[in-house]
Chain A
Amino acid sequence: MTDIAQDIPVARPAPPRRSTGVFGWLRANLFNSVFNSILTLIAVALIVVSVPPIVRWALIDAIWRAPNGQACHGGGACWAFIGEKFRFILFGRYPLDEQWRPAAVIFVFAAMIASACFRPLWGRRLAIIWFVGMSAVFLLMAGGLPGMRRVETALWSGLPLTLILAVVGMLFGFPLGVLLALGRRSRLPAVRAICVGYIELVRGVPLITVLFMASLMLPLFLPAGMTIDKLLRAQIAIILFAAAYLAEVVRGGLQAIPKGQVEAADALGLSYFQRTRLIVLPQALAMVIPPLVNSFIGMFKDTSLVIIVSLFDLLGATGFALTDANWQGFAVEAYVFIALIYWAFCFFMSRYSQVLEREFNRGKRR
């Protein structure tokens, strides 16, 4: 028996294909089928065609120093334009000798956002930090303390203006949004109808129309003789717009609260306001923190629209810098530069919201 078994010629299976090392990785990830191999070759061709010219434009042929715009026009990017204009792009029309103030404001905002990302601080301490921070921001921008010149809001511009519009929009839009969301979930039909009407009306129209409304119609709404600052008008528009979107985010959290929580609160004899403040909102708001961060990113990007009502935020100040007769034709360089600023901020925030989401779902993961 054993002899026979040994005598049968057995076709030796070929050794398995290598699945480790560079070739194994290439085969598994780039050439694992005919279709994928073709795709890989097309992608490589695209990269070979498009990347070298971009690198040559942005780095190799780029001009880093130039006395004026005429000397800066040679095949590559003119980064000298950014070097010449970066103060204007960042701080806009803010008085030149006072520009340490908006620079400080950017650092205050950075510190506030960093503290908000540090979770052990969450709670009352964070509220105090933000209150102090926002006060410092407005004190620095407006001036008025001895030794600090008053600067009117018409001159506020650049990155600090973008940050102020987005952060203040969030800080005031959020409580309004919570009230609207609660109103939309209310059992009282009149309250519900008005809240639904407001939310759907604002969400159905573009931000531009709300900004137009604030800049053109709001002055008509005020009693005779009363005027309202242009910046404040745009800020009100952003707050009202943000509130409608935040209301829908908060509503998502409210709907996710199990009914038993509300019933338990009722059984304990809590009033509507006690129930909402102590039971419903803490759970609902904790649940919607990651989407709230995403809303904030959206708002940060949307503030660029205030340029339409002629405010000079980061994008507006850049557009203004591009009108310099001595430096003509560097729109692409300027836009790439501020795109990097916007991108860095939004990318960081979206990564942070993903981290938060993972941590909040840790209990639900199996």
Chain B
Amino acid sequence: MTSEQVSLNIAPARPAPWRDPRIRGVAYQVVFVAAVAGFAAFLLHNMLGNISRQHIATGFGFLRKEAAFGIGESLIAYSPADTYGRAFLVGLTNTLYVAAIGIVLATILGTVMGLARLSSNWLIAKLAQIYVETFRNIPLLLQLFFWWGLLNTVAPSPRQAWQILPDVFVSNRGIAFPVPVGNPAYGWIGIAFVVGALLVISLRRWAALRQAATGRQFPTGWVGLGLILGLPLIVFLAFGAPFALNAPALRGFNFSGGTTVSPEFTALLLGLVIYTGTFIAEIVRAGILAVSWGQSEAAMALGLKSGQRMRLVVLPQALRVIIPPMTSQYLGIAKNSSLAVAIGYPDLVSIANTTMNQTGQAVEGIMMIMAVYLCISLAISLAMNLYNRAVALVER
């Protein structure tokens, strides 16, 4: 009793200040931050000194000056008389363009190949395995050079272009393919598509509510497909089915009509999609293998059909495993699109590189590239995290 009281009354011995973990923690941090800040200040001091000694201009004023260099391909109007800022914007749109298409195509290719590796068909599984093992183990840059070399040196001139499909020509000027001729009806078809999609969303909600209340199912899939495809089709027919193709044709030394994608863009896209597709295939395969076989057996025992089993039981669980590594692959595509500079596709890095060479303002140029890529990375991470939260396991 007494001893208890004594021990309760004695305050815990205060350690000496240099042994107090809290004080030590603060001291360590002060030292660490001071060292980092000191190093940064040293670098900055050197840099300012060097810049003034070498008479390099500073600031972002150069963005308003005339760029005076041409850009091979651009999604927005551009001429050499435009400013560096405009050129930067061209590079940014080109980067986003190739990255967006690359992400979609790589996802499709990777998913197909991942499923193919799990196929019960021996030949298909082996072919998918050969694809993955081959292209995963060769540097992306080498693959880009290979495709570019193939298109540039091996592909014939437009006069002897290879016709791989009707009206699709491969030559050393790129791939020429037909596009539909624009028509006011297409705008209405797009609106009909959006209306159909909105109807399907509300239909699904209603069907889920009804099933919860009465247990009766509604064939949402078929009706939804009918709405999404049927409404635009009706509009298309109502306008008298206007459809004409603008096909590429050889005029002189090059194709006119249709659309041509440059060898640089084709090589970059092919390389990105084929290389990243191997990693996505492995992610998809691992994700599906991660769902234990017992889950499938339980679904079968409940009488679900194989499509329902995949859609309702296996995929939702596999997606949880698949999405986080998939995010880093998407980030990889966005970042790897910067390899465009090596084969001459005018992406952000390539244009910034030209700008830096012309103006000598390396610091500003690199800071702009880094800021843009950080923003792209953050945007992709954010989008994927939101999606991940939507499919994540809701625990109690």
Stretch at the interface among A38-46, A78-86, A357-365: A38-46
Check A305–B32 contact: CB distance below 8 A: no
- Is chain B's interface secondary structure helix, strand, loop, or mixed overall? helix
Q: How far is the CA of A339 from the CA of B377 in the complex (A)?
A: 30
Q: Which residue of B lies closest to A26 (CB)?
A: B122
- A342 interface residue, CB < 8 Å from B? yes
Check A224–B366 contact: CB distance below 8 A: no
Which one, B145, B153, B366, contacts A315 given CB within 8 A?
B145
Check B49–A305 contact: CB distance below 8 A: no
Q: Contacts A206-B373, A331-B149, A332-B153: A217 and B366 contacting too (C-beta < 8 A)?
A: yes
Q: How far is the CA of A219 from the CA of B339 in the complex (A)?
A: 23
In the bound complex, residues from chain B placing their C-beta under 8 Å from that of A216 are: 356, 362, 366
In the bound complex, residues from chain B placing their C-beta under 8 Å from that of A29 are: 120-123
Q: List A207-250 residues whose CB lies under 8 Å from chain B.
A: 207-209, 212-213, 216-217, 219-224
Which one, A209, A223, A339, A343, contacts B373 given CB within 8 A?
A209
Check A220–B139 contact: CB distance below 8 A: no
- A205 interface residue, CB < 8 Å from B? yes
Check A342–B139 contact: CB distance below 8 A: yes
Closest CB of chain B to A15's CB: distance in Å?
24
Check B335–A205 contact: CB distance below 8 A: yes
Check B127–A332 contact: CB distance below 8 A: no
Q: How far is the CA of A332 from the CA of B142 in the complex (A)?
A: 11
Q: Which residue of B lies closest to A162 (CB)?
A: B139
Check A209–B369 contact: CB distance below 8 A: yes
Which one, B137, B153, B341, contacts A342 given CB within 8 A?
B137
In the bound complex, residues from chain A placing their C-beta under 8 Å from that of B33 are: 190, 194
- B308 interface residue, CB < 8 Å from A? no
In the bound complex, residues from chain A placing their C-beta under 8 Å from that of B369 are: 205, 209, 212
Q: Which residue of A lies closest to B349 (CB)?
A: A208
Q: Contacts A224-B53, A332-B146, A346-B137: A191 and B122 contacting too (C-beta < 8 A)?
A: no
Number of interface residues of B (CB under 8 A): 56
Q: How far is the CA of A187 from the CA of B43 in the complex (A)?
A: 28
Which one, A205, A219, A336, contacts B370 given CB within 8 A?
A205
In the bound complex, residues from chain B placing their C-beta under 8 Å from that of A224 are: 46, 49-50, 53
Number of interface residues of A (CB under 8 A): 53
Check A338–B142 contact: CB distance below 8 A: yes
Which one, B32, B46, B136, B142, contacts A335 given CB within 8 A?
B142
Q: Which residue of A lies closest to B342 (CB)?
A: A308
Q: How far is the CA of A188 from the CA of B377 in the complex (A)?
A: 27
In the bound complex, residues from chain A placing their C-beta under 8 Å from that of B121 are: 29-30, 32, 36, 39-40, 43
Closest CB of chain B to A165's CB: distance in Å?
12
In the bound complex, residues from chain B placing their C-beta under 8 Å from that of A194 are: 32-33, 36
Check A190–B137 contact: CB distance below 8 A: no
Q: Which residue of A lies closest to B125 (CB)?
A: A29
Q: List A276-335 residues whose CB lies under 8 Å from chain B.
A: 297, 301-302, 304-305, 307-308, 315, 319, 329, 331-332, 335
In the bound complex, residues from chain A placing their C-beta under 8 Å from that of B149 are: 331-332, 335
- A204 interface residue, CB < 8 Å from B? yes
Q: List B358-384 residues whose CB lies under 8 Å from chain A.
A: 362-363, 366, 369-370, 373-374, 377-378
Closest CB of chain A to B365's CB: distance in Å?
8
Closest 9 pairs between A and B when the two form their complex, measured CB to CB: A331-B149, A346-B137, A29-B122, A216-B362, A206-B335, A301-B139, A190-B29, A204-B377, A206-B338
Would you give 5 A-B contacts (Cβ < 8 Å), ordered by A?
A: A30-B122, A188-B29, A212-B362, A331-B149, A331-B153
Q: A205-B373, A307-B141 are in contact. List 4 more A-B contacts (CB 8 A).
A: A32-B121, A220-B47, A224-B46, A301-B137
